[in-house]
Amino acid sequence: MGLSLRRALVREGAMMQSTTDTEVILHLVARAKRNRFIDRFIEGLRQLEGAYAFVGMTNKKLVGARDPLGIRPLVMGTLDGCPISRRRPARSTSSARNTSATSRTARC
């Protein structure tokens, strides 16, 4: 995310309290012209360029989004009772260091 979007928001009157990209996204969502939160979130994210993965939450919903190319993946959920984002990857048989390793199930 470039500084040009941040600078444009400041020129338009946004008051930034930090230097995080998340704050820029919050301003984009707040300035969106849509009524529903999900529509505002989508409108804000459509203005971004580059890689990102975000999670937004309201009192009733949890919304996840990633960049259109999937450069920054977003994984939420569980598999076999383990949080997917915390799972260790299974070892591959194509690894030069692990030529004798077979495919194993990842553990939490």
Residues 87 and 63 in one domain: no
Q: pLDDT at residue 32 above 90?
A: yes
Dihedral, 17, 21, 22, 28 alpha carbons, nearest 10: 90
Q: What is the pLDDT of residue 107?
A: 57
pTM over 0.85: no
- The residues near 64 (Cβ < 8 Å, ≥ 6 apart) are 53, 54, 55, 56, 74, 76
Domain that holds residue 81: 75-108
Residues 40 and 16 in one domain: yes
Residues 84 and 107 in one domain: yes
CB 26 within 8 A of CB 54: no
Residues 15 and 54 in one domain: yes
What is the chain's percent helix, strand, coil content, to nearest 5? 30, 15, 55
Domains: count for the chain: 2
Name the residue with higher pLDDT: 96 or 11: 11
Q: First-to-last CA distance in the chain?
A: 33
